[in-house]
Structure 1
Amino acid sequence: MASERLKALIIDDINPVAAEILGKYMDVTVDKRPLKTEELASVIEPYHLLMMRVSAKIGPSVIDRAPNLKIVASATAGLDHVDLSYCREKGVKVINAAGGNAESVAELAFGFMISLFREIPRASKDVKSGVWNRAAYNGRELLGKTLGLVAVGNVGRRVAELSRAFGMSVLAFDPYVSQEAAREMGVKLVSLEELLRESDVISIHAPLTPETHHMISIPQIAMMKDGAYLVNAGRGGIVDEAAAYEALKSGKLAGMAADVMEVEPCLRSPLYELDNFIVTPHFGGQTPEALKRMASIAAERALEALGLKA
């Protein structure tokens, strides 16, 4: 395939670095709109490469109208919006930017931990409403606490690194990580049950799969220390939200923070009634630094997959 014939379509207002990288090897069309699936399907026909984030669902309705498509490059860590098996069946390679948002998500996880341990959201809310009473808050230090990491991929590994600055000991559960790799990370690899029993704060960084769906539910919460904290910066659906609500309400869990919810966007939830629950709109990787890094990684990997760059 001659390089001058290659055409790329970039949608979703991806950082301009992607167009700069791809433009050295192919003709690039940039449409900054977050095209929905039907809109994308109507324009995809001439393109060999699609770069996007998550506005459209990539499955039969798009792939079947893209006879020239060779690569779907998603400038994201996750690929929940792509039908991977159908792409594979049709010979379309799927590229992501795994690791590109690790720093941003890891820093958010620690922001959550500090906010939970020091009760920052509640204190801020009280002061703004006219209540100044520092004795009302029972903040705790991270120093000397045990952090339990559920999955130590790109994000979990960085959380483990950051934990050293806070003087925390780290346990990890990850069936895909060897003991040797865990030692290199400075974490102790344990069973999920041991991690739940021994951790003061549990931070989730796993993908959502049939195996991880509701892996934190009533039995698992019962194993946790009374007054433990839970952070989910992985995927919604890993934590059973109804079980978490009951545990937060009863005090079994001292606090929980989530950047992800089981159904998104989630504008209403019983969890939102609780002062010891913090939520953000799945923006862990939504920093300028991470967005640029992911655009660059996805573009470079796409070119390699096309054989245009070694």
Structure 2
Amino acid sequence: MAPKVLISDELSDAAVQIFRDRGIEVDFQPKLGKDKEKLAEIIGNYDALAIRSATKVTEKLIEQATNLKVIGRAGIGVDNVDIPAASKKGIIVMNTPFGNSITTAEHAISMMMAVARQIPEASASTHAGKWEKSRFMGVELTAKTLGVIGAGNIGSIVCDRAKGLRMKVVAYDPFLTEDRATQLGIEKVELDDLLARADFITLHVPLTDATRNILSAEAIAKTKPGVRIVNCARGGLVDEAALAEAIKSGHVAGAAFDVFEVEPATESPLFNLPNVVVTPHLGASTSEAQENVALQVAEQIADYLLTGAVTNALNMPSVTAEEAKIMGPWIKLAGHLGNFIGQMTNEPIVAINILFDGVASTMNLKALNSAVIAGIMRKFNPDTNLVSAPVIAKDRGIKISTTQQDAAGAFEGYIKVTVTTEQRTRSVAGTVFSDGKPRFIQIKEINVDAEIGADMIYTTNKDVPGVIGTLGGILGENGVNIANFTLGRADQGGEAIAVLYVDGRPDEAVLDKVRASGKFGQVTAMHFDVN
């Protein structure tokens, strides 16, 4: 029986035809995504679901998807898909991470030009029969300083286009190395320096806990008087109310926003302010981009249904079905190792070395590499998947190397990840035990045997009496239950570490109490996806 695909959002006729040409039954209902009840009634009849942004794939909908094997999102954002729920149900979630990068970058440049020359207001005035030439005095882009927050895939394209406009480009990005900055022909700076120097600021980062309100009231106050701010990335990166006040006061000369904290945006503090250009999330809305991502997602879904090939999956590595049975636990381990290093590292990463020992060295190293890199970079870019991670790392100028060796030491095989930044080198190693469970076996060259749980605490300290009691006492007094407590030290009286698996994510206030004890150097809460 031929597999069945439901397309519940607008997709091009060419994309629909791809399924038909490959012998896949297609049900094309482009308005269905807006009817949640009807979608839930019929979703159980399909093997695959192709969507854009209108369809909301909630946990409730996934419960009804009894036959669904794959969800394909035409575009990069998957905010409308409950990925954890899909993962638990064994449903692969794919996206198309690179199909609309140029379109989004071009929109940001267009918005910057529009706000520089007050084009929308001037157009409206002229349409109204006025001729207010002296009212709309603009500024040139040539020789101005553009501050780019986020120099990844889209941000780097913006940098390139801005250089073509003869702008001076400075960029802030935790992953941007000096070598990559030189390659792009831009200057790498810290955020405060960017705020103080930029005539225009444009944002190109995902919305995470670290980037939410990255342009807060405090940050906006540090900007150069007369700055113009462009956001075509994600709503929530800029405090809209604070920006509105800065525009009213005259400190900020204008803004151009394509995205808003609440969408659809029917109201915003920025609406109806002078020299504020707003568009309804049009960053990826060109015929070329929409066609590209539609064709890509159709090919990806068809490949998976017919051959089992997995491409651009957010919750599964690109491996064959045969490899997946053996490699599953090792891929989880690789992701955990990368995630550990990623949560520990806030500086630009220069190089990543991945050592595969013994049985690990005989596996699909591309998939294992991707899992490590995705784990590292997901802290800064949650949209990173196992396919896009190496490309993104390369674009950032990060040097990736791998080493293979025959079994050495007490384990049948293990993986060791070493990350080099401009300040330090960190390493973590792990293996998979016979029960199929990944374990950390070495951190910072100190041997440990740590079970990996969803919520963990990592500490460093000097090897002196009383540390265990202090740590356990503070956590116990504050209701943090310890499921597993692992210790390790380099030498007697030297550096020591502790890795705790705890029941639930601890509050930062509790960790502050641990830090205040004066017995610990580093105290970090970590979270791992162990499903």
**Per the shorter chain, which TM-score range?**
over 0.9
Counterpart AA for 1:294: V
Name the counterpart of 2:5.
Answer: 8
The amino acid of 2:209's aligned partner reads P
CA contact (8 A) 1:214 1:239 kept: yes
Structure of larger gyration radius? 2
**What secondary structure, in the 3-state scheme, does the structure 2 residue paired with 1:44 have?**
helix
**Aligned to 2:256, what secondary structure does the other structure show?**
strand
What fraction of aligned residue pairs are identical, expressed as a percent?
38
Distance 1:18 1:74 in 2: 13
**Alpha carbons of structure 1 residues 186 and 95: separation in structure 2 relative to 1, 3 Å:** farther
Q: Quick one: distance in 1 between partners of 2:298 and 2:181?
A: 31
**1:197-244: CA deviation from partner (whole Å, max 9, x where unpaired):** 221111112222222221111111011100001000011111111001
Q: Identify the residue that residue 57 of structure 1 maps to in structure 2.
A: 56
Report deviation, 1:285.
1.1
* 1:150–1:173 contact (8 Å) kept in structure 2: yes
Local SS of the residue matching 2:33: coil
Which residue type is aligned with residue 114 of structure 2?
A: S
Counterpart residue number, 1:42: 41
Provide Cα deviations, 1:104-161, integer angstroms capped at 9, x if missing partner.
Answer: 2111111111111112122223323343232233211111111111222332122122
In structure 1, the residue matched to 2:196 is: 197
Other-structure match for 2:182? 183
Measure the CA separation in 2 of the matches of 1:83 and 1:120.
40
Task: State whether residues 230 and 255 of structure 1, in contact with CA within 8 Å, keep that contact through their aligned partners in structure 2.
Answer: yes
15-24 or 138-147, which deviates more = 15-24
Aligned to 1:19: 16
Q: TM-score, normalised by structure 1?
A: 0.92
- Point out which structure has higher relative CO (alpha carbons under 8 A, 6+ apart): 1
Residue equivalent to 2:272: 273
- Cα-Cα RMSD: 1.9
SS for the counterpart of 1:256 is strand
1:28 aligns with 2:31: no
1:212-231 equivalences under 5 Å are 212-231=211-230
Letter in 2 for 1:27: E
Distance change in 2, residues 1:8/1:181 (3 Å): farther
What amino acid is the match of 1:21?
I
Q: Supply the distance in 2 between the matched residues of 1:30 and 1:118 (Cα, whole angstroms).
A: 43
Matches of 1:300 and 1:202 in 2, distance apart?
37
CA positional deviation for 1:293: 0.6
Residue 170 of structure 1 deviates from its aligned partner by 1.5
Post-superposition offset of 1:295: 0.6
Could you report, residue by residue, the CA deviation over 1:32-78 in whole angstroms, capped at 9, with x for unpaired residues?
21423332221111211110012222121111111221111011221
Task: Mark the CA change 1:299 to 1:173 in structure 2 (over 3 Å): closer, same or farther.
Answer: farther
Q: 1:208 corresponds to which residue?
A: 207
Number of aligned pairs?
307
Contact 2:32 2:38 in 1 (8 A): no
User: Which amino acid is the alignment partner of residue 265 of structure 1?
Assistant: P
TM-score by length of 2: 0.55
Partner letter of residue 258 of structure 1? F
The 2-side partners of 1:66 and 1:94 are apart by: 13
Answer yes or no: is the 8 Å Cα contact 1:25–1:308 preserved in 2: no
Say whether the 8 Å CA contact 1:34–1:55 is kept in structure 2. no
Task: Give the alignment of 1:242-253 within 5 angstroms.
Answer: 242-253=241-252
The one-letter amino acid of 1:178's match is T
Maintained 8 Å contact 2:257/2:278: yes
- Residue 308 of structure 1 deviates from its aligned partner by 4.8
- Following TM superposition, by how much is the alpha carbon of 1:25 offset from its aligned partner in structure 2, in angstroms? 4.8
Alignment gaps of 5+ in structure 1: none
Match runs of 1:277-288 below 5 Å: 277-288=276-287
**Cα distance in 2 between the residues matched to 1:43 and 1:187:** 52
Aligned counterparts, 1:91-130, within 5 A:
91-130=90-129
Q: Contact 1:303–1:309 (CA<8 Å) still a contact in 2?
A: no
* Alignment partners' CA distance in 2, 1:48 and 1:182: 45
Residue of structure 2 equivalent to 1:232: 231
Greater shift in the superposed pair: 103-112 or 148-157: 148-157
Aligned position for 1:157: 156
Bigger Cα displacement from structure 2, 114-123 vs 175-184 = 175-184
Alpha-carbon distance change, 295 to 196 in structure 1, aligned in 2, over 3 angstroms:
same
Identify if the C-alpha distance between structure 1 residues 178 and 241 changes in structure 2 by more than 3 Å, giving closer, same or farther: same
Instruction: Give the conservation status (yes or no) of the 8 Å contact 2:19–2:302.
Output: yes
Residue 496 of structure 2: aligned partner: none
